[in-house]
Amino acid sequence: MVVAATKRYTASEYIALEDKAEFKSEFINGEIIPMAGVSANHNKIALNFCRLLPLAIGEQVYEIFMSDMRLWMPEYSRYTYPDVMVITGEPVFVDQRQMEVTNPSLIVEILSSSTQAYDHESKFRQYRSIPSFQEYILVYQNSYEVDYYVKESEDRWILITHKGEESVIRLVSMQLEISLRDLYKRVKFD
């Protein structure tokens, strides 16, 4: 039996293909991986999260990007599309096209049964290679539950699990509180 080799792509080949593609794909060290579709709950949670974030708190300005902005992680030769990214201050783009950023301080992923383990482990490990990255929020779609990771030091992250409609996430980087009741507004659980 002959096994066909998987075609490997360069990052620039991926970008050229992605710019013309009808559906989004991730780029992981030469491989192009199609992304799964999203549910109505997924969309509502992402939109609610963005809606709850101010563009400025005091003198600090934030840029907020939803799932169409690519994130580049050079250490892993990886492009991905986080559900929500918050950048403290000015975004650092890969080039003048301004289609890929490199400096989020906060990343949010809305979990599905097919991505839950991947988002918790591999993706989180790779996100930690980003020097500006300080907070990681994993939101479950079918219950009031959020895993919130906050960076304490270079090699130490603290996990705080929030459960229940009355729970409140306290974002360190933005000095902001988000209630799970507001985050899950109009979400219908199975």
pLDDT per residue as tens digits for the range 99-120: 999 999 999 999 988 777 777 7
All structural domains of the chain with their residue ranges: 37-183
pLDDT digits (tens, 9 = 90+) for 66-91: 999 999 999 999 999 999 999 999 99
- How confident is the model over 4-43, as pLDDT tens digits? 557 899 999 999 999 999 899 999 999 999 988 889 999 9
- Predicted pLDDT at 58: 84
User: Which segments within the chain are labelled E, that is strand?
Assistant: 25-28, 31-34, 56-57, 60-66, 70-73, 78-80, 84-88, 100-101, 106-111, 135-140, 145-153, 156-163, 168-171, 176-179
List pLDDT tens digits, range 144-161.
Answer: 999 999 999 989 999 999
pLDDT at 59: 87
| CATH T-level assignment (fold) for domain 37-183 | tt1808, chain A (3.90.1570)
